[in-house]
């Protein structure tokens, strides 16, 4: 079945797809977004039920392979120590994220120049600055301006309260003379743009029933739809088709009834994340593009970067916030920049974690062997529960071509579309970085008086940040898209998600992903008259 053509077709309604849709809406072009997921219903979010923690292990798992909703696609990540986690719905993985909101640093865009590794980005931080600011207003951020070791931000809302956990960490960091600062987050600390303020429902990663945590289904999308953007849900795109001129002509997708459809479009924008985007491009094979679309460089799917997490946590005598607050509260940039005396290049950001709920505490502590079976179980649990503090290092992953996304020869999704396969190893540099982070984290925890210290390095189900698999650059032989997100090979095809990252920085990337999406939309608007030249 053929639909009426649209001017712009966006694939994916998550972090970047929502931002680019909203920004382009003021062109008054006919814009259509297709998403494989549907609208979320906050009344069904885990925190509305007594079994809220148990749901994390099943239908609200962060892993699509465990969750297995019809909207999810399977991922073969057996050959990776870090498993992919995501969420597939309107809002994408902003529905299920920690709302931690650092930006990449200016130095992150110049790693080759500064440290002689990887490549510089074709744009710099200053090019993104206005879009970071615009995005912060749209998403609604809270925080405290003035961090001396982070890029200057202007959060429209005050920071989260320190609560019980943050002062414990802060005192230890102060004793050690190390940097910390209250995190910028996308958790509303006051009523904001129709969203109610945070009431501390607990760990907000698996969606916020209050709507205080910013996800694009409740931020960008209502604005974009009011401005005329059309959003079709439960539509899974199988492939992008091209015409005899090598231009994208539209997409083939399966609608909510599973019926194959063709949607013609003048411009196609991909916003499917660092795994979904290469999967789609590699599935879009034709005579003219036998190795997948936009892949003349051979780099589609390569250079996958995850951010290996080095997590260390322990238990203090004082009560902590447990599950009674958003999970992240402070960050540190003490080890963010390169110091070769540490034995590795580049660095890591740190996010401090407030605690855990009782079920999560019991399950993880039993697995770590610090919560015994038998008569001593009750005493041990009371010592642990409500006393955890944590330190998680987000280690900068450098691009390596052997870390990649390909198509699995066997595994397919519910529509029969080949699923992605991940091949990934942790580099020696990243391993040294994680070791360093664990050692520093142990110092912090011990100064804080913590005992029963446990580690996860990497966090196995920690593949939140999916980056680098369709990198941007000025050289068509060394990159997939140009410096404003357009495919080198297909002049009406754009990519706006984390796959275009050249390097990963050492922070959560969503803020930068969305700033990039807004920047690319702005570039498109400035070039509408000669967009395909």
Partner 1 sequence: MSDANELTSAQRADLRTIAAMIIPESDEYKVPGADDPAIQADMLATLGRDTALVGQALDHLAKLAGKPLAELDDARREAVAREFRTSGGAAAATLVRVVLQCYYRDDRVLRSLGLELRAPFPKGHVLEDGDWSLLDPVKARGGSLRRTP
Phi, psi of 342 (to 5 degrees): -80, -10
Count of residues for the chain? 533
The answer to the question of residue 176 lying near partner 1 (CB under 8 A) is no
Is residue 33 within 8 Å of residue 229, measured between CB atoms? yes
Q: Please pick, from the candidates 121, 131, 132, 181, the single residue that binds partner 1 as defined by CB under 8 A.
A: 181
Tell me how far apart the alpha carbons of residues 155 and 448 are, in angstroms, rounded to a whole number.
Answer: 30
Phi, psi of 25 (to 5 degrees): -60, -30
The answer to the question of residue 58 lying near partner 1 (CB under 8 A) is yes
CB of 90 to partner 1, least distance (A): 21
The answer to the question of residue 363 lying near partner 1 (CB under 8 A) is yes
Q: Please pick, from the candidates 160, 320, 479, 482, the single residue that binds partner 1 as defined by CB under 8 A.
A: 160
Tell me how far apart the alpha carbons of residues 405 and 502 are, in angstroms, rounded to a whole number.
Answer: 16
Contact segment (CB under 8 A) with partner 1 among 105-113, 225-233, 432-440, 492-500 equals 105-113
Residues 371-390 that bind partner 1 (CB under 8 A): 373-375, 377-378, 382, 385
The answer to the question of residue 162 lying near partner 1 (CB under 8 A) is yes
Contact segment (CB under 8 A) with partner 1 among 287-295, 357-365, 388-396, 434-442 equals 357-365
The answer to the question of residue 57 lying near partner 1 (CB under 8 A) is yes
Q: Please pick, from the candidates 1, 4, 146, 341, the single residue that binds partner 1 as defined by CB under 8 A.
A: 146
Q: Closer to partner 1 at the Cβ: 72 or 266?
A: 72
Q: Closer to partner 1 at the Cβ: 48 or 291?
A: 48
Binding mask 467-496 for partner 1 (x = CB under 8 A): ------------------------------
Q: Closer to partner 1 at the Cβ: 105 or 234?
A: 105
Helix (H), strand (E) at residue 264 = strand 260-270
Is residue 472 within 8 Å of residue 486, measured between CB atoms? no
CB atoms within 10 A of CB 166: 23
Tell me the HSE value of 216 on the side-chain side, using a 13 A CA sphere: 31
Number of residues that bind partner 1 (CB under 8 A): 68
Residue 300 is classified by DSSP as T
CB atoms within 10 A of CB 400: 18
Tell me the HSE value of 476 on the side-chain side, using a 13 A CA sphere: 9
Burial class, 355, CB count within 10 angstroms (exposed 0-12 / middle 13-18 / buried 19+):
buried
Contact segment (CB under 8 A) with partner 1 among 94-102, 133-141, 162-170, 262-270 equals 162-170
Contact segment (CB under 8 A) with partner 1 among 200-208, 246-254, 392-400, 414-422 equals 200-208
The answer to the question of residue 335 lying near partner 1 (CB under 8 A) is no
Binding mask 305-334 for partner 1 (x = CB under 8 A): ----------------x-xxx---------
Contact segment (CB under 8 A) with partner 1 among 108-116, 216-224, 271-279, 395-403 equals 108-116
Beta bridge partners of 239: 252
All residues at 6 or more sequence positions from 226 whose CB lies less than 8 Å from its CB, including other chains: none
Cα angle, residue 18 at apex, residues 416 and 151 outer, rounded to 5°: 120
Q: Closer to partner 1 at the Cβ: 115 or 408?
A: 115
The answer to the question of residue 114 lying near partner 1 (CB under 8 A) is yes
Q: Please pick, from the candidates 45, 254, 309, 313, the single residue that binds partner 1 as defined by CB under 8 A.
A: 45
Checking 256-263 for CB contacts under 8 A at 24+ apart, the result is 258/415, 259/1, 260/1, 261/1, 261/2, 261/3, 261/235, 262/1, 262/2, 262/3, 263/3, 263/6, 263/9, 263/32, 263/34
Q: Please pick, from the candidates 19, 20, 118, 164, the single residue that binds partner 1 as defined by CB under 8 A.
A: 164
The answer to the question of residue 201 lying near partner 1 (CB under 8 A) is yes
Residue 294 is classified by DSSP as T
Where does this chain bind partner 1 (CB under 8 A)?
45, 47-54, 57-59, 105-107, 109-110, 113-114, 124-125, 144, 146, 148-151, 160-164, 166-167, 170-171, 173-174, 177, 179-182, 198-202, 209-210, 321, 323-325, 337, 358-359, 362-363, 366-367, 373-375, 377-378, 382, 385
């Amino acid at each position: 079945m053929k639909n009426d053509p649209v001017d712009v077709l966006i694939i994916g309604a998550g972090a970047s797809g929502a931002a680019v849709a909203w920004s382009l809406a003021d062109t008054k072009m006919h814009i259509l977004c297709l998403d494989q997921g549907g609208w979320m219903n906050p009344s069904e979010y885990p925190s509305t039920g007594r079994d809220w923690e148990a749901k994390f292990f099943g239908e609200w798992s962060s892993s699509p392979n465990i969750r297995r909703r019809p909207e999810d696609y399977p991922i073969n990540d057996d050959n990776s120590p870090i498993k992919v986690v995501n969420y597939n719905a309107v809002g994408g993985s902003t529905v299920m994220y920690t709302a931690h909101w650092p930006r990449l640093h200016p130095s992150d865009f110049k790693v080759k120049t500064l440290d002689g590794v990887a490549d510089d980005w074709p744009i710099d931080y200053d090019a993104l600055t206005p879009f970071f600011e615009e995005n912060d207003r749209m998403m609604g951020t809270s925080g405290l301006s003035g961090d001396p070791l982070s890029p200057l931000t202007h959060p429209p809302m005050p920071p989260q309260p320190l609560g019980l956990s943050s002062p414990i960490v802060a005192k230890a960091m102060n004793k050690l003379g190390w940097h910390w600062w209250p995190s910028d987050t996308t958790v509303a600390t006051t009523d904001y743009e129709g969203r109610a303020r945070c009431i501390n429902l607990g760990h907000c990663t698996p969606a916020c029933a209050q709507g205080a945590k910013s996800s694009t289904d409740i931020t960008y999308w209502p604005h974009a739809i009011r401005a005329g953007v059309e959003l079709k849900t439960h539509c899974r795109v199988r492939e992008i088709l091209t015409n005899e001129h090598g231009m994208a002509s539209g997409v083939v997708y399966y609608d909510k009834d599973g019926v194959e459809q063709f949607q013609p479009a003048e411009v196609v924008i991909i916003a499917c994340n660092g795994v979904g985007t290469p999967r789609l491009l590699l599935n879009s094979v034709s005579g003219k593009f036998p190795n997948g679309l936009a892949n003349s460089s051979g780099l589609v799917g390569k250079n996958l970067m995850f951010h290996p997490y080095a997590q260390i946590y322990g238990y203090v005598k004082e009560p902590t916030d447990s599950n009674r607050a958003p999970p992240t509260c402070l960050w540190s940039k003490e080890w963010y920049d390169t110091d070769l005396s540490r034995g590795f290049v580049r660095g890591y950001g740190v996010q401090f974690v407030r605690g855990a709920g009782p079920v999560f505490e019991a399950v993880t502590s039993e697995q770590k062997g610090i919560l015994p079976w038998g008569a001593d179980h009750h005493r041990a649990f009371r010592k642990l529960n409500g006393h955890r503090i944590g330190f998680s290092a987000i280690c900068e992953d450098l691009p390596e071509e052997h870390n990649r996304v390909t198509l699995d020869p066997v595994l397919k999704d519910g529509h029969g579309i080949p699923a992605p396969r991940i091949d990934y190893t942790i580099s020696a540099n990243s391993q040294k970085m994680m070791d360093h982070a664990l050692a520093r984290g142990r110092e912090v925890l011990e100064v804080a008086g913590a005992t029963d210290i446990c580690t996860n390095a990497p966090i196995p189900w920690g593949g939140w940040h999916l980056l680098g698999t369709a990198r941007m650059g000025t050289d068509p032989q060394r990159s997939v898209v140009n410096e404003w997100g357009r495919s080198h090979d297909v002049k009406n095809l754009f990519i706006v998600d984390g796959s275009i990252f050249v390097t990963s920085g050492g922070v959560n990337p969503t803020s930068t992903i969305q700033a990039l999406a807004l920047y690319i939309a702005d570039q498109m608007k400035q070039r509408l008259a000669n967009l395909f030249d």
